[in-house]
Amino acid sequence: MTKVSELAYNKCFAATPEDLGEVAVLYGGVSAERAISLISGQAVAHALKELGVNVNAIDVGENVIEQLSDASFDTAFIALHGVGGEDGKIQALLEYLGKPYTGSGLAASALAMDKLKSKQVWQAEGFSTPPYLCVNADSDWQAVMNTLGAEVFVKPIHEGSSLGMSCVDNAVDLKNAYQLAATFDPKVLVEQRIVGAEYSVALLNGQALPPISMLTSNSFYDYQAKYESNETRYQCPCDLSAEKGDEIQAIAVKAFNALGCSGWGRIDFMQNKDGDFFLLEANTVPGMTEHSLVPMAAKVVGLDFKALLLEILVDV
């Protein structure tokens, strides 16, 4: 199903810690996903140090312009999730500073961070994504339910980690869910619930890694299921047939490219009962702890955490 491994190994052996120079690991940040980014950044910095890379770990604060202007580094490994780190802002600053960085460029990062704009691009390119409506405080909540169906997801457009998100099945709960989402982002999306299995596909330097399936006993893959629960089950390789696996990988590569994304990332999918895949969102800086999804998929093609980091860094 996946053909990354040997090529990837050859490439990462070509990169030595000396080639990389001083690597700034940018982590923490001020977004709602700070707690996860602290773990990602510490894992990345620790592994790079063990490889002998000269690491400058920077916990990014409000004074990021000053911090990066004053810091010594040749390349930046961006381990910041969410607003400020995954949305094009830090990428723009690094462009001004003339420093190469991991992952997608600033325009693709901004586009991928916007769940609405991503869906619009995907729809225009003929990909399936759940039907949706944009809502505001004056929306007719019953009309939204009538249009989208029995169960809907309410999402802040620019958030991640399932923060501010709810799944509801009636107009009263929908209004409350809107109010919660709006505390995270004034722009809110309501999406039809796709009932079925959930998958995620990691992208690495132009290729898709094996799909991962996520199974939760919660009502959906919420913050608790993602980061706190021991009950959430991940499978990689997963239960998809070889044919369906190829199909989801091909969609992932094309959907990632359609947004202009590059380097590494992850695309989240739902599959309905008929077996059709629906694109949920693209993540340009997904979780990077040793237990995160991208490292899990990389391991299946023979890339351990350190090799994965070198693979991400080698092409910046």
Ligand X SMILES: Nc1ncnc2c1ncn2[C@@H]1O[C@H](COP(=O)(O)OP(=O)(O)O)[C@@H](O)[C@H]1O
**Helix, strand, coil in percent for the chain, rounding step 5:** 40, 20, 35
Neighbours of 102 (CB within 10 A): 26
Q: How far apart are CA 178 and CA 260, in angstroms?
A: 30
Residue 191 touches ligand X, criterion: CB under 6 A:
yes
- Among 56, 128, 227, 247, the active-site one is 227
Coil/strand/helix, residue 72: coil
Q: How far apart are CA 286 and CA 289, in angstroms?
A: 9
283 tagged catalytic: yes
User: Is the Cβ of residue 163 or residue 308 nearer to ligand X in the bound state?
Assistant: 163
User: Is the Cβ of residue 46 or residue 187 nearer to Mg ion in the bound state?
Assistant: 187
Residue 268 touches Mg ion, criterion: CB under 5 A:
yes
Q: Which does 161 bind (CB under 5 to 8 A by kind): ligand X, Mg ion, none?
A: ligand X
Question: Tell me, what amino acid is at 86?
Answer: E
- Among 103, 178, 222, 266, the active-site one is 266
Q: How far apart are CA 99 and CA 76, in angstroms?
A: 7
> ω into residue 210 within 30 of 0, thus cis?
no
243 tagged catalytic: no
Coil/strand/helix, residue 273: coil
Whose CB is nearest to ligand X? 221
User: Is the Cβ of residue 47 or residue 251 nearer to Mg ion in the bound state?
Assistant: 251
268 tagged catalytic: yes
Residue 165 touches ligand X, criterion: CB under 6 A:
yes
Q: Residue holding tokens 């080698």?
A: 314
Only one of the segments 82-90, 222-230, 260-268, 292-300 lies at the binding site for Mg ion (rule: CB under 5 A); that segment is: 260-268
Only one of the segments 3-11, 41-49, 160-168, 232-240 lies at the binding site for ligand X (rule: CB under 6 A); that segment is: 160-168
Q: Which does 156 bind (CB under 5 to 8 A by kind): ligand X, Mg ion, none?
A: none
Only one of the segments 34-42, 63-71, 83-91, 155-163 lies at the binding site for ligand X (rule: CB under 6 A); that segment is: 155-163
- Among 178, 283, 292, 311, the active-site one is 283
Closest distance of CB 115 from ligand X, Å: 6
34 tagged catalytic: no
Q: What angle do CA 310, 5, 41 make, to 5 degrees?
A: 30
Q: How far apart are CA 160 and CA 154, in angstroms?
A: 13
- Among 105, 281, 292, 311, the active-site one is 281
Subset of residues 75 to 114 that bind ligand X, contact rule: CB under 6 A: none
Residue 162 touches ligand X, criterion: CB under 6 A:
yes
Q: Does the CA dihedral 271-272-273-274 come out positive or negative? A: negative
Q: How far apart are CA 123 and CA 34, in angstroms?
A: 31
50 tagged catalytic: no
Q: How far apart are CA 98 and CA 11, in angstroms?
A: 24
Q: How far apart are CA 27 and CA 67, in angstroms?
A: 12
* List of residues contacting ligand X (CB under 6 A): 130, 153, 160-162, 165, 191-194, 198, 220-221, 268, 270, 280-281
Task: Provide the binding-site residues for Mg ion, judged by CB under 5 A.
Answer: 268
Catalytic residue numbers, as ranges: 33, 161, 227, 266, 268, 281, 283, 287
